[in-house]
Every structure is written in C-alpha cells, then in structure tokens.
Structure 1
C-alpha cells in the first residue's frame, strides 16, 4: 500500500519497512499552459547535511554535474532537459546503509534551470510529485504530491530523508525559495559562483 503524504508530514521510512536500504527518490512534474514558450528544465539535486543542516562542501551537493556523493551512497541518474513523458522525470538513488555517519539528513530539491532568463517559476509547474520506491522490488512506498502552492519560487526543498534514533524517516517539506540554486546552496552553507 502506498502512503500519500501532505506538506509537513513526517513518516517512518525504515522502521516500518524492514530490510529497506536501497531506495529511489523519483521526482516528476508537468508545465501548465502559462509556459511562456521556452522549455522548462527542472533539475533535481540532493544535499548531504550534518546535524546543523549544513553541507560540508561542494562534494555534498549531488546534481547533474556531480552525479555521485556520500562515498557512493547517493547517485543522481542524470539530467532530463524537458520533463516530457509520464512517470519520474529525474531520480536520485540512495543506499541508506552507506550514507556516511556525519550525514544526518539528505535534502532533495528541485530548481528551474535559467529561471530568471526564461521568465519561469514554480507557479508555471503542475502535477509535481516526489515518490520513494524500494529499489529491490520496484514497489512505491510513499508519495507526496506538492500541489500548486507556489508562485514566484524558482527553487524548492521537496523532501528530506533524515536519521532518527537509528532509523530513517521522510519529511514532506515543500518549501520554496526565490533566487534559484544560489539561494538554495546558501541556505545549506555552500557558496556558488
């Protein structure tokens, strides 16, 4: 049975799913009729964060130009430049058992590439979702549909995977940022050029 989450909801990931160690975090979206004529290139990323919510360095930022991080525990499967088609547009694979001990949280984010230049924001995106899939049997474990609560934001923290008393939990965050990738990186303690 797939669990459907609401914004702000936190749920156990591993305690209720014994043996769940390798997951796929799938993200998908569509653009609505106000697209403005340019393709939307949304980019999923993962930030590996310490107990203070900060990334240790650029190596803790997994995205289309740095596909693997956390000693191989987090892998981005590649950039989808248009978001066309059904199902997941981008995926991030996480081996929970291999995530380094200093990483307390894996924040999953989505940004709009060249949002300012293209005049785009998340108000023009619809049907956005994140889902967690058990990689071993390809069964969907949980899903969070983001709704359409965003207007001017160009970056979103979609969800977090975090450790709690030796288990992994899932937090449906759904927080937006203006300022795109730079604002997101700054929020997690990274400076980008």
Structure 2
C-alpha cells in the first residue's frame, strides 16, 4: 500500500486512505529552514465544537498545554530549532475516543515571537504534514505545502473533520499574519 499524496483543499476520508478504520495516529509536521537561518516553529491544535469554537480553553493543545482534557490528543513537545531528521513536531491522536463535543481539529504552525524577531515563513524551503498509523508505523497521508508563504507568520496546515463514520483529512495550507493569539481570539467563544 502506497502513501496517499494529497493536494490543497482535496479532502480524503482517513479510512479510505488507510484502507481500514484508523484509531491511533500520529500527525507529523516538518519543515526545513533556509541555509543559515533559525526559526522556532510551534504546532498547535484547536479542537472545535459544533459552533466552530473551543468548548473550553483546555481544548487548545500546544507547547504550554500538551494534552487535551480527554487525554486523546497529545502534543509531544516543542522542537525549538527544527533541524532534526524526520518530523519536527508530533501530535498523537486516539480518534475513536476524542470527546464527542469535538467536531473538528485545526492544525496551526506558528513562528514563536515572529514579529519581534522579524521571522516569517519565507525563511522556509519546505514544510509538510503527514498522518501515520501508529499500529504499523505506516504513512497513510502526506501533504507538502507547496505555496510560498512569504511574510506570513503562521500557517494552517490542515483540518480533521469528524464525519458519521470517521474523520476526513483536509489539507488547507492557509497563511496569515494574525499571530497565534489571533487564532486563539478567533476560536474562543464570545461571552
């Protein structure tokens, strides 16, 4: 079985991509910094409810909150230099047991302190997101971000959307300059 290479906006059901129902997966995110550069990129997951908002602050999984309240989404920690082989940051998911209030997961990669350090995604040569089946370590899906994000300081890599019988992976590749706090503000419910 070959890895499915996906394109921006072309969603695929995980069970179709894997040719079986998936339960425990790893979302691997990676990037290469241009020669001579150094960036601290951070992966974050926004676990959204039916209304497109966080059900609570604890459903924002990132370097200061490494686990969702149900324990089914776990961030493996911050890689501050991103120069290792393989995935630079990893998020583990146990799909069948993610809280039923969660309808969508949004995967954002942001540059730490980008504005003050004058860093942006134009400093990257490559970036990707991939899905691995943890039971057999098989790479199910792979999406290379082929866009040039120039002066963007964060990128939405992909979304996982809950469906009646599983999850759909949608590679998005949207860049922005709103900062990680901008995403927090976007997904926090209004009082």
Q: What is the TM-score of this pair, normalised by structure 1?
A: 0.92
Deviation per CA, 1:77-103: give whole Å up to 9, x if none: 111010012210000001001111110
3-state SS in 1 of match to 2:183: helix
**Preserved CA contact (<8 Å) 2:72 2:95:** yes
Whole-Å separation in 2 of the counterparts to 1:13 and 1:19: 7
Instruction: Report what 1:21 is aligned to.
Output: 23
Matches within 5 A, 1:67-146: 67-146=66-145
Whole-Å separation in 2 of the counterparts to 1:185 and 1:34: 31
Alignment size in residue pairs: 188
Deviation per CA, 1:86-128: give whole Å up to 9, x if none: 2100000010011111100011110000111111011111210
Q: Which structure 1 segments of 5+ residues have no match?
A: none
3-state SS in 1 of match to 2:64: coil
Runs of 4+ in 1 over 4 A off after TM superposition: none
Instruction: Report what 2:40 is aligned to.
Output: 41
C-alpha distance 70-3 of structure 1, shift in aligned 2 (>3 A)? farther
Whole-Å separation in 1 of the counterparts to 2:15 and 2:73: 17
After TM superposition, give the deviation of residue 187 of structure 1 in Å: 2.2
> RMSD between aligned alpha carbons?
1.6
Q: Which structure 2 segments of 5+ residues have no match?
A: none
